[in-house]
Amino acid sequence: MSDYHIPVLLRESVDMLDIDPDGIYVDVTFGGGGHSREILSRLGRKGRLVAFDQDADAVANAPDDKRFTLVASNFKFLRGWLRALGIDKVNGILADLGVSSHHFDTPERGFSFRYDALLDMRMNQGGAVTAAHILNSYELERLAVIFGRYGELDKPFRIATAIDNRRKAAPIETIEELISAVENCTPRGGESKFRAKLFQALRIEVNAEMEALEMMLGQSLKVLKPEGRLSVITYHSLEDRMVKNFLRSGNFEGEIHKDFYGRSQAPFELITRKAVVPSPAEVADNPRARSAKLRCGTLSAEYAGGR
């Protein structure tokens, strides 16, 4: 499990769930199973944990525990799968949205620019869309939007144009071919940061990550019990902004709606007024934790009772 992924903010994120030993919990990002095992360690005999992971490689990490169920699916189908399992409401949901070390460290998965491999980047290897497909088939304008929106890159149209010029000569199929195609757009001295943003943009588009996150968060309002908790770890500003707005207001714009009497209609009571970040010691042990932010809220009994 530790070779697959080192769990980030492990104690803090599970503490936020305020585990009821007899409760039902969901880990929507199973991965290496670190967070799931910590939750299981705090559950009693009657407790139950359901975990989600769309990557077939994660199945090998599943613990042999009668209280545990692993669903091989994207967490955007959260509510439907819980219903299929006979579960209407849960006590808490945990999400660790980061890409696992396993994905970054497995060259053939194509997630890391440290290796040369085919441009894949699929979390679900049964999916039809790869990074190469996007680079070679999307119109120039659409590529520019992806690089600007999901990578927050400067001059995204210039990057898209460089890719368009290269693919007219030959398809871009490998990581080295992509790096070469955008070489003239890559800032000197800032190569790693630029490539990380470029790969982030492609990965988010390949896996429709923002749409899946929005769907899962929206469904949390339907599946959490009154005073149930949502604990989410994010790794980049796009995710963090969405989670922050949702916990603050119940929508993705961050707009707090009020009733006739001026009372807030926000569904969550914030447990974290400010994001919790890893300690310097954790970052020293696991540098990939450095950008992590943890936010948590509890679904107000008043909101849950009014649905």
Q: Domains of the chain: which residue ranges?
A: 10-101+209-305, 107-207
State what percent of residues in the chain have pLDDT above 70: 95
Q: Give the distance, in angstroms, between the CA of residue 208 and the centroid of all CA atoms in the same chain.
A: 10
Q: How confident is the model at residue 70 (pLDDT cuts 50, 70, 90)?
A: very high
Average pLDDT over every residue of 233-254: 94
What DSSP letter does each residue of 215-237 carry, written as one string?
HHHHHHHHHEEEEEEEEEEE-SH
CATH number for the domain running over 10-101+209-305: 3.40.50.150
Q: Domain 107-207: which CATH class?
A: mainly alpha
pTM comes to: 0.92
Determine contact, residues 55/61, Cβ cutoff 8 Å: no
Spatial distance between the Cα atoms of 85 and 247, rounded to a whole number of angstroms: 27
Give the pLDDT confidence score for residue 110 in this predicted structure: 77
What DSSP letter does each residue of 267-283 carry, written as one string?
SEEES-SS-B---HHHH
Q: How confident is the model at residue 217 (pLDDT cuts 50, 70, 90)?
A: very high
Spatial distance between the Cα atoms of 162 and 116, rounded to a whole number of angstroms: 20
16: closest CA among 251, 243, 288? 243
Q: Could you tell me the two tokens for 273?
A: 């007024």
Q: How confident is the model at residue 1 (pLDDT cuts 50, 70, 90)?
A: very low
